[in-house]
Chains A and B, each alone.
Chain A
Amino acid sequence: MNIVLSLLAVIILLLLAFIGVDVAGWRYFFGVIMPMATIIVFILGMVYRVIKWARSPVPFRITTTCGQQKSLPWFKASNLENPYNIWGVLGRMFLEIFFFRSLFRNTKVGLKDGPRLVYGSTKWLWLGGLVFHWSFLIVFIRHFKFFAEPVPAWVLALQNLDGFFQIGLPIIYATDIALLAALTFLFLRRVADPKLRYISLAADYFPLFLLMGIAVTGVLMRYFTKVDIIGIKEMAMGWLSLSPTVPEGISSLFFMHLFLVCCLFIYFPFSKLLHMAGIFVSPTRNLANTNRIKRHVNPWDYPVKLHTYEEYEDEFREVMKAAEMPLEKE
C-alpha cells in the first residue's frame, strides 16, 4: 500500500508537469515560478530546521563510544572511537560523512539451523548507500554547468573523469549507471525482506521513487531524445540573475524532470532527507567524550535554596530538646 501510494504520487507529479506544459501551456509557471519558489523554500526551510536544532541545549556529552576512553597515560586511548579532542571528533565526523563509517558496522540477526541465533556483518546497505550518495553528489555537481558561465574547469574535469571510458555517444557517465543501480538496489532491499517491508513507510518509498523519476527523465534526455540544452541553460541562468525567461522549444520531458527536482527540494527540509544537515549535528557523533576530563555545568542550573541541618537544629532546638533527641550543639 505504501509502495503503491508513493508510486502513484510520483506518477501524478509527472503527469501534472506533462499536462501543465503540453496541454495547459503553463510554461512560465513550471519554468520560472516553480523553480524560483523551490530555491526560496529549500533555503529557508533548511535554515529554519537547523536553527530549531541549534536552540537545543547541550548540557552533557552523550557520545556513543566503542573504544578505550582517554584515561591514565599508560592506557592506549582510541581517539576515533572515543574522541577526546577536536581532532578525534573531526576525524570521526569526516569518516562518518564521507564514508558512512557507523553504517559499515551494520549487523544482521538471523536463525541458523533451527534455534541458533546468529549475528553477522552485512555491508550491502553501506555499499548501496555509499554508491547512491556519491553518484548523486557527482551528478549534482555536474549540473553546475547549467548554472555557471563560463563553466569552471573543475566541473569539466569532473565530467571528463565521470565519462572516463568514453563509451557511447553522448558519452555514458559512470555515475548515471551507478545512481540508477543503487536506487534500484535500495528499493529492492526494502521490498525483498518482509521485516524491512513491514517497517517501510510511504515516506521511505516516496523519495526513492522521486529520485528514480529524476534519474530516469535525466537519462532519457541525455541518451535517448534530444532537448534544447542551450535554451535550458538560458532559463537556468535567468533564475539566478533574476531575469527569468522561458525560451521556446524546450520539450515537456525537461519540464517533467525539473518539476520532480523542484518537488524533491521542496520536500527536502521537511522529511527524512534532512539527514543531510542532521549528520553534522548528531550529538552522539560530533561531541568529544570529555565527560571526565572537563567539568560540564548544566546551563539551566539555578541557585537552589538550601536549608542546612545547622539551621534546622537552630529552628527546632527547643522542641528537639524536649523530645530528648540528640543535638549537635547544646
Chain B
Amino acid sequence: MYDAGKIIIGLIIFLIIITFPVWYNIAMGKATYIPQLEYPVDAEQCVADSAYIRASHMDLLNTWRDKVVREGERVYHTPDGRRFEMSLSNTCMKCHNKKEEFCDRCHNYLAVDPYCWDCHIEPKELVP
C-alpha cells in the first residue's frame, strides 16, 4: 500500500498556499501599481526637506505630539529659522489638505495604519 495519493494532495495544497501572492495579484490586477502622490500646488517650503520628511515624518509628528501634549510647547523652529505651529491638522494638513490623495496612498500601499486619526478629525469631515 502506498500513500502517495494523499501526499500529492498535500503537496498541491502547499503549492497553492505558497504561490498565493501570485494568484492574488493576478486576480486583483494591481501588480504594477505604484502610488503617486498629489503634492500641494500653491504651497511654499515644507517644514523640512523632502528626503527627511519622506523617511522620518512619523518621528517628527511623534516629537511634535509629545512636545505639545506633554510639554505644552507649540512652536517649532526649523534649523533655518522659520517658525511653525506644531500641529498635524493646522500646519501639515493646511498644504497637504487631501488625506486620501497624499497620506493614504503610501500608507495603504504598505499597510501602515497610523493612529493619527484615533484623536484627530479627518480633514474631509471638516468640509461641510
Contact = CB atoms under 8 A, between A and B. Distances in A.
B25 A240 contact: yes
Given A230-B34, A240-B21, A43 B109 contact: no
A24 interface: no
B7 interface: yes
Contacts of B58: 169-170
Given A58-B2, A150-B108, A160-B113, A241 B25 contact: yes
A164 interface: no
Contacts of A277: 14
A159 B112 CA distance: 9
A57 B34 contact: no
B1 to A, nearest CB: 5
Interface size, A (range)? 35 or more
B111 A151 contact: yes
Contacts of A152: 24
A169 B28 CA distance: 31
A55 B10 CA distance: 14
Contact of A169 (B62, B109, B111, B113): B62
A155 interface: yes
Interface stretch (A140-148, A253-261, A315-323): A140-148
A166 interface: yes
A155 B55 CA distance: 23
A83 to B, nearest CB: 15
A191 B43 CA distance: 61
B49 interface: no
A146 B113 CA distance: 15
B28 A150 contact: yes
B18 interface: yes
A145 B30 contact: no
B31 interface: yes
Given A50-B11, A150-B28, A229-B110, A55 B33 contact: no
Nearest to A297: B1
A172 B51 CA distance: 24
Contacts of B111: 145, 151, 155-156, 159
Contacts of A146: 110
A237 B113 contact: no
Nearest to A153: B111
Interface in B1-60: 1-4, 7-8, 10-11, 14-15, 18-19, 21-22, 24-25, 28, 30-35, 55-56, 58-59
Interface string A34-74: 00000000010011001101111111000000000000000
Contacts of A230: 34-35, 106, 109-110
A226 interface: yes
Interface size, B (range)? 35 or more
Contacts of A150: 28, 30, 108
A149 interface: yes
Contacts of A46: 11, 14
B117 interface: no
Indicate the member of A149, A155, A160, A297 with the most B CB atoms within 10 Å: A149
Given A160-B113, A169-B59, A240 B31 contact: yes
B25 A55 contact: no
A280 B25 contact: no
Interface in A210-255: 226, 228-230, 233-234, 237, 240-241, 243
Interface of B: 1-4, 7-8, 10-11, 14-15, 18-19, 21-22, 24-25, 28, 30-35, 55-56, 58-59, 62, 106, 108-111, 113, 115
Given A148-B25, A169-B62, A240-B31, 10 more contacts: A50-B14, A54-B3, A55-B2, A56-B2, A59-B1, A159-B113, A160-B113, A169-B58, A237-B31, A281-B7
27 contacts: A47-B11, A51-B7, A51-B8, A53-B7, A54-B3, A54-B4, A54-B11, A57-B2, A59-B1, A144-B21, A147-B25, A148-B25, A149-B25, A149-B30, A150-B28, A151-B108, A151-B110, A159-B113, A169-B62, A229-B110, A230-B110, A237-B32, A237-B33, A240-B25, A240-B31, A241-B31, A280-B10
